[in-house]
Amino acid sequence: MSPTAHNRVEVLHGANLDMLGRRDPEHYGNLSLVELETAVKRFGRELDLEVAFFQTNHEGEFIERLHRLPDAADAAIVNAGAWTHYSWAIRDALEIARLPAVEVHLSDVSKRERWRRQSVLEGLVITSVSGKGPDGYREALSLLREALGV
């Protein structure tokens, strides 16, 4: 399938996700970000989706990427890290992008600190997948594939 066939998904990783492999393995597993992205790319190929990645520790860069996202992708997986729980600016930028999106968290945020249980992305995303490690990205890709009609 060609990239113009509405099968492009961008995975956006926010603050501290570049530290995977060095963060608490109980919550985040042992994979580095590169290893996680390799697995997600493989999941995408299995589902006939073209997957690209973006990571930043700078909220403004994350927002600007969301502004440009409709030119680069047809859908998004968003793991904004801690920004998920308080960045109304990221929520606004995702709303402007107007793409199907799924929120993903490696850890089960519902069983962690109280502040992690709120998502400012709620209502904009198809759903939130958390606590499934790398398999959460596979689930998100499957949901986006269905939403895109691939």
Residues with active-site annotation: 28, 105
How many whole angstroms separate alpha carbon 146 and alpha carbon 140? 10
Q: Residues 35, 106: contact at Cβ < 8 Å? A: no
User: Nearest-CA neighbor of 83 among 73, 91, 74?
Assistant: 91
Q: What are phi and psi of 101, to 5 degrees?
A: -145, 150
Q: What are phi and psi of 10, to 5 degrees?
A: -105, 135
User: Nearest-CA neighbor of 129 among 144, 115, 148?
Assistant: 144
Report helix, strand or coil for 17.
helix
